[in-house]
Amino acid sequence: MVSDCAPALVLAENRELAKSLIGPGATDFDTAFAAAAAESGTPLEDETKPDDRAYVMYTSGSTGRPKGVIVPHRAVVRLVFDQSFIRFDPDEVFLHAAPLAFDASTLEIWGALLHGARLAILASARPSLQKLSRRSNSIM
């Protein structure tokens, strides 16, 4: 997938992993966050168009090789605005439990953030219902 999409930047948990994937253009979270903190707080001009690429999602590869599917911004907006299957508002807390490689993560992440809600990131892969209940009560 890395060779297919030829990323200019890989952000990884550690620089060695990222460098092994793409070389010197790699960085780690600590370096990226430090660089971001040094940036101006001035909002960027929005030049994004609805059909511009938001991200690339890779298929499972069931045919032998994963294929990149370009997901445009309009698809993300369509998923989380003007729909009736879930309520998004700033008073809600959404649990981000889906793996990033699974398209359900788009709903969890962008549904919450584009509506001013809070996004709770699941720390463990398989929490018990009791653990989720305790955590949800401490968030509210």
Q: What confidence score (pLDDT) does residue 107 get?
A: 93
Q: What confidence score (pLDDT) does residue 125 get?
A: 65
**Tokens at 15, concatenated:** 């620089």
Maximum C-alpha span of the chain: 46
Other beta carbons within 10 angstroms of residue 109's beta carbon come to 18
Cα 5 to Cα 14, 67, 132: the distances in Å are 21, 10, 36
Higher-confidence position of 140 and 24: 24
Q: Where are the domains of the chain?
A: 1-41
CB contact burial 59-92 (16+ within 10 A = b; e otherwise): eeeeeeeeeeeebbbebbeebbeeeeeeebeeee
Helix (H, G, I), strand (E, B) or coil at 19: helix
Lowest pLDDT segment from 16-25, 59-68, 82-91, 129-138: 129-138
Lowest pLDDT segment from 30-39, 41-50, 89-98, 124-133: 124-133
Q: Is the pLDDT of residue 110 over 90?
A: yes
Q: What confidence score (pLDDT) does residue 138 get?
A: 57
- Mean pLDDT to the nearest integer, 32-47: 88
Q: What confidence score (pLDDT) does residue 117 get?
A: 94
Q: What confidence score (pLDDT) does residue 111 get?
A: 94
Percentage of the residues of the chain whose pLDDT score is greater than 70: 86
Q: Are 59 and 66 in contact (CB under 8 A)?
A: yes
Average pLDDT of the residues of the chain: 83
